[in-house]
């Protein structure tokens, strides 16, 4: 009987600790590696990370999706892909798309792929003095960089690393969710300048409702009760997950229509400003990275890309983890990051 009473007596303390962790999540330090602003354009900012050990002449430009923040590349000290790359001697740049608002309503995927990315690359070359760069894109960032490379045969890019890139949307959950007529894109474009980030986040979380809405908080509570809760590990990820920029309406409409409703990427039917987006024209060295438990950009939707690419130097890297966990989970540092580095290093001389 006494242990049961002890358990009950511990409950308020556990609840207090749990509440404290949740309520102070917004104060967690995310994306704190020292960096400088190199260039800005509208809401977009190009950063260069400070380093005293740059040994590879070919710099890296990291690009993330339009939804969620690029801080995932630099989540927290000790679990930061940026930190890792800097330690390996790379000159690391990151493009931050910023927080879209009403004034960005008419910004489309073509703008990001054909204006923002090439200008960012120009500024990377200017700041680093390099003739060529390595381009790393994650999720929508991978798609945008792929679009850019497809229509820019002379791009000053030596290596391309698409991480968990949505390519073939056939028979995916998103195709079902976004492909129905009830989602009236014409009406949305007329009446809204952007899709609020919170809506996008909710739709994504509802793909796995139990783990996202019950599993994660329950696991934290159990850890608090067991005394194994790691605030410094939980909070940065929780903060990043809750930080959702809006999706500019024109870009949203194009993304849904081109990628999910009409599957233009996989069918080779995508055109940007009249130019055909054909991934087979990309001749840079390519490392296609997929995640075994990715339910957002399933592995089965990325693999067909390997049949399209004709570059003489293409490799596929299959990592363990989910869409985000692949690069930001606890195993990333010892698994996927060294493998990406092994591929990049000889190609960055």
Partner 1 sequence: MTEESSTNGSEQFRKFVDDFLSTAAPALEDVVNSKAYGEMLGQAVGNLVALNRMNNDVMDLTVRNLRIAGRADVVSLHRQLARNEDKLEMVLEIVERIEEELAAIRRLGSETADRTAGPESSPARTSARKPTGKSSTRSSPRSPSDRD
Binding site for partner 1 (CB under 8 A): 1-4, 7, 36-42, 48, 101-103, 110-111, 115, 119, 122-123, 125-131, 173, 176-184, 187-188, 191-192, 195-196, 199, 203, 206-211, 214-215, 218, 222, 271, 273-274
Task: Compute the distance between CA of residue 53 and CA of residue 50 in angstroms, rounded to an integer.
Answer: 9
CB of 172 to partner 1, least distance (A): 9
Nearer to partner 1, 59 or 162 (CB): 59
Partnered with residue 46 across adjacent β-strands are 39, 95
Nearer to partner 1, 89 or 118 (CB): 118
Nearer to partner 1, 74 or 161 (CB): 74
CA 36, 41, 45, 47 dihedral sign is negative
CB of 54 to partner 1, least distance (A): 11
CB of 287 to partner 1, least distance (A): 26
Nearer to partner 1, 203 or 317 (CB): 203
CB of 170 to partner 1, least distance (A): 14
Nearer to partner 1, 216 or 311 (CB): 216
Partnered with residue 273 across adjacent β-strands are none
Q: Where are the alpha helices (DSSP H) in the chain?
A: 2-23, 81-87, 109-111, 117-128, 140-150, 173-178, 185-191, 197-205, 209, 216-226, 231-242, 249-254, 264-267, 299-302, 305-308, 325-328, 336-344
CB of 349 to partner 1, least distance (A): 18
Nearer to partner 1, 221 or 308 (CB): 221
CB of 288 to partner 1, least distance (A): 26
What SS3 class is residue 224? helix
Count other C-beta atoms under 10 Å from residue 254's C-beta. Answer: 20
Q: Tell me the two tokens of residue 143.
A: 């798609």
């Amino acid at each position: 009987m006494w242990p049961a009473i002890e358990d009950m007596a511990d409950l308020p303390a556990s609840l207090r600790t749990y509440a404290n962790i949740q309520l102070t999540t917004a104060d967690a330090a995310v994306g704190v590696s020292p960096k400088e602003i190199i260039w800005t354009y509208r809401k977009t900012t190009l950063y260069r990370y400070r380093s005293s050990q740059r040994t590879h002449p070919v710099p890296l430009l990291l690009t993330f999706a339009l939804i969620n923040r690029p801080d995932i590349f630099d989540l927290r000290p000790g679990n930061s892909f940026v930190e890792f790359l800097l330690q390996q001697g790379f000159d690391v740049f990151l493009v931050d798309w910023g927080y879209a608002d009403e004034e960005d309503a008419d910004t489309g995927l073509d703008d990001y792929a054909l204006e923002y990315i090439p200008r960012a690359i120009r500024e990377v070359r200017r700041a680093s003095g390099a003739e060529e760069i390595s381009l790393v894109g994650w999720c929508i960032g991978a798609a945008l960089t792929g679009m850019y490379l497809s229509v820019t045969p002379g791009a000053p890019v030596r290596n391309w690393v698409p991480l968990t890139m949505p390519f073939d949307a056939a028979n995916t959950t998103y195709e079902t969710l976004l492909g129905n007529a009830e989602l009236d894109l014409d009406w949305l474009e007329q009446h809204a300048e952007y899709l609020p980030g919170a809506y996008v986040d909710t739709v994504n979380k509802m793909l796995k409702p139990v783990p996202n809405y019950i599993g994660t908080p329950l696991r934290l509570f159990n850890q608090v009760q067991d005394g194994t809760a790691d605030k410094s590990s939980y909070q940065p990820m929780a903060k990043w997950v809750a930080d959702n920029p809006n999706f500019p309406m024109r870009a949203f409409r194009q993304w849904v229509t081109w990628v999910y409703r009409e599957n233009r990427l996989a069918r080779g039917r995508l055109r940007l400003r009249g130019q055909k987006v054909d991934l087979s024209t990309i001749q840079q060295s390519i490392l296609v990275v997929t995640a075994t438990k990715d339910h957002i950009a399933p592995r089965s939707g990325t693999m067909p890309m390997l049949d399209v690419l004709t570059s003489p130097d293409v490799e596929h890297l299959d990592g363990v983890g989910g869409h985000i966990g692949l690069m930001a989970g606890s195993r990333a540092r010892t698994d996927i990051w060294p493998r990406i580095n092994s591929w990049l290093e000889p190609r960055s001389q």
